[in-house]
Amino acid sequence: MGKKYILSLDQGTTSSRAILFNKNGEIVDAAQREFTQYFPKPGWVEHNAQEIWSSILAVIAEVLTKTNVSANEIASIGITNQRETAVVWDRETGRPVYNAIVWQSRQTADICEELIEKGYNDLFRNKTGLLIDAYFSGTKVKWILDHVEGAREKANQGKLLFGTIDTWLIWKLSGGKEHVTDYTNASRTLMYNIYDLAWDDELLEILDIPKSMLPDVRSSSEVYAETVDYHFFGEAVPIAGVAGDQHAALFGQACYEKGMAKNTYGTGCFMLMNTGEKAVPSENGLLTTIAWGIDGKVEYALEGSIFVAGSAIQWLRDGLRMIDDAPASEGYASKVESTDGVYVVPAFVGLGTPYWDSDARGAIFGLTRGTSKEHFVRATLESLAYQTKDVLKAMEADSGIELKKLRVDGGAVKNNFLMNFQSDILNVAVERPVINETTALGAAYLAGLAVGFWKDREEISKQWKVEESYEPTMDEQQRNSLYGGWKRAVEATMGFKPNKNREQ
């Protein structure tokens, strides 16, 4: 049988998915399985790594059964994953010593504060392109070694392994043979030097993490391992592409040239701009990260992280019960001409780029007796666009590149009101592609390129097609006035710190 398909495994924060792509980069079919979210204490978020693994096996079986595709028709497997989420497991038994600590989890905030107080922020930033923050994997690994009984001793004896989710899945799929990751995932750990392309001994010493725990770092498109027959219907299929979810989306959006950018509207928003073969240090609160490593070269990106985007719409639905489902938000927002001066700043877990204020909490401004549900819903949707503008302005300042258009993907891009407003407030064209599953597609492309399923990036670029392009129609004065109001609302939000002692 010919190799007709690429299987993409998209291991996300709330669900695992298996998506089958054909030669034209089209979705043949998909399967999805949600898994449990654990919140042991306020601000903590954990997953059971074994349950994630079970969910991956389930979706692989389901998508192949549904489509009647045989395992030997799959040319290769691509993996894309929720980044920064950390798993530590026993090398001999293969069992995790603790739950996976999720990227959103703030349980290592104290460790981060201590490192910042010791004056390490610039050192970490200059080597990793990141800030010291509970978001990244390094302090999560340290937390597990510090808090799980016997873990540090075992780690020092070389008996424990660390991995981001991609590493855990390759380890499991290969039957425990390969302990590897790719440049993109390594670049989010706070332990990897993105300039030297190596695990950094000095940072490991500060975090007190033994190097023996760390995976080999490879390019984002090469054969890392083959599936062990008992996990893949008797077939040894190459696992040949890996990238963290946001990097995979940048690749799937065919942003291959310097200055091209995409924004993914998921639980949070993540905006990445390709800066080519040069890492651009940020002066404006962005992260410098590896876009991908392919064809013997490493390319870099600037990234802005918005912590709350789609989850603000879920909050309207579940917390405030203002809407029955997320798509209904568009109808309510379109019923009013404006928010009537209302601003929602959804800083539920603090503010990300460019503010990096983890103590701020959500706030609402400009309420009057005339404020209606429609105004409220519209203001919440608009907050996604304002936060994106904050990030874009920082990107343009750092890179010196003026963005001409923004490629978008993720759940919220189906909301035409939001996309129109986004284009208006940015004053650039916003392009939504035909295939919105750009994260899974990016992983498929990386895996396909490694085994010759697709020839090169040029062939892939031709497959990228626009479904809808939104053009700005708002006048400059209105744009500046609305955005000025947002900036004042953010400033006021940052002035109110409910969790800080009153005396401070």
Q: What is the 3-state secondary structure (H, E, C) of 108-125?
A: CHHHHHHHHHCCCHHHHH
When pLDDT is cut at 50, 70 and 90, the band that residue 391 belongs to is very high
Question: If pLDDT is split at 50, 70 and 90, which confidence band does 268 have?
Answer: confident
CA distance 7 to 451: 13
Decide: helix, strand or coil at residue 71: helix
Q: Per the domain annotation, does 483 fall within a domain?
A: yes
Are 328 and 231 members of one domain?
A: no
Least confident of 124-128, 234-238, 308-312: 308-312
pLDDT at 365 over 60: yes
Q: What is the pLDDT of residue 500?
A: 63
CB atoms within 10 A of CB 449: 26
Q: What is the CATH number of the domain that holds 423?
A: 3.30.420.40
Alpha-helical regions (H) of 14-164: 49-67, 109-117, 121-128, 137-147, 151-156
Using one digit for the tens of pLDDT, what is the confidence trace for 13-39?
889 999 999 999 999 999 999 898 888
457 DSSP β-pair partners: none
Distance between CA 37 and CA 48 in Å, rounded?
A: 8
Same-domain pairing of 334 and 207: no
162 & 268 share domain: no
In this predicted structure, what is the pLDDT of residue 503?
43
pLDDT at position 3: 84
| Pair 67, 192 in one domain | yes
Residue positions forming the annotated binding site for ADP:
13, 17, 267, 310, 411, 415
* Domain annotation covers residue 504: no
Q: Which residue has the tokens 């930033």?
A: 125
Task: Output the pLDDT for position 43.
Answer: 80
Q: Which residues contact 296 (CB under 8 A, 6 or more apart)?
A: 219
Given the DSSP bridges, would you call strands 238-244 and 363-365 parallel, antiparallel or unpaired? unpaired
Nearest-CA neighbor of 103 among 300, 352, 313? 352
Of 245, 263, 290, which marks where a domain is finished? Answer: 245
Query: Predicted confidence band at 436 (pLDDT cuts at 50, 70, 90)?
Result: confident
Quickly count: other Cβ atoms within 10 Å of residue 474's Cβ. 16
Q: With respect to residue 466, please indicate whether it lies within any of the assigned structural domains.
A: yes
Tell me which residue of 440, 8, 464 sits closest to 264, measured CA to CA. Answer: 440
Of 214, 245, 276, the last residue of a domain is: 245
Q: Are 158 and 91 in contact (CB under 8 A)?
A: yes
The average pLDDT across 206-223 equals 96
- DSSP string computed for 138-156: HHHHHHHHHHSTTHHHHHH
Task: List all residues 6 or more positions away from 414 whose beta carbon is below 8 Å from its beta carbon.
Answer: 327, 436
For residue 14, how many other CB atoms are within 10 A of its CB?
13
Of 224, 245, 266, the one marking the end of a domain is 245
Same domain, 489 and 361: yes
Two tokens, residue 237: 């299929």
Average the pLDDT over 47-74 and give the result: 94
Percent of the chain with pLDDT over 70: 99
Q: What are phi and psi of 150, to 5 degrees?
A: 80, -5
* Cβ atoms < 10 Å from Cβ of 349: 19
Question: Could you tell me if residue 361 is inside a domain?
Answer: yes
Token code pair at residue 47: 């997953």
Same domain, 234 and 259: no
435 and 376 belong to one structural domain: no
Strand partners of residue 163: 87
pTM of the predicted protein model: 0.89
**Do both 189 and 314 map to the same domain?**
no
Whether residue 204 lies inside any domain: the answer is yes
* C-alpha span between 166 and 244 (Å, rounded): 8
- 504 pLDDT tier (thresholds 50, 70, 90): very low
Residue 351 lies in a domain: yes
Structure confidence at residue 266 (pLDDT)? 84
Query: Residues comprising the binding site?
Result: 13-15, 17, 83-84, 135, 245-246, 267, 310, 314, 411, 415
- The verdict on 59 and 174 lying in the same domain is yes
Residues making up the binding site for glycerol: 83-84, 135, 245-246
With contact defined as beta carbons under 8 Å apart, do 238 and 450 qualify?
A: yes
How many independent structural domains does the chain possess?
A: 3
Non-local (6+) Cβ contacts of 136 within 8 A are 84, 130, 188, 189, 190
Annotated binding site for sn-glycerol 3-phosphate: 13, 83-84, 135, 245
- One domain, residues 169 and 59: yes
Q: Per the domain annotation, does 502 fall within a domain?
A: no
**In terms of Cα–Cα distance, which of 469, 457, 401, 59 is closest to 252?**
457
Model confidence at 498, in pLDDT bands (50, 70, 90)?
confident
Which residue segment(s) compose the domain that 407 sits in?
247-305+400-470
Closest CA to 165 of 244, 247, 63: 244
Same domain, 23 and 39: yes
Query: Which residues carry a binding-site annotation for ATP?
Result: 13-15, 267, 310, 314, 411
pLDDT at 284 over 80: yes
Question: At which residue do the structure tokens 């996990």 appear?
Answer: 231
Residue 166: which H helix or E strand, with range?
helix 165-173
Please calculate the CA angle 340-346-350 and round it to the nearest 5 degrees: 145
Q: For 373-428, where are the E strands, in sequence order?
A: 405-409
Residue 501 lies in a domain: no
- Whether 298 and 368 map to the same domain: the answer is no
Residue 1: pLDDT band with limits 50, 70, 90: low
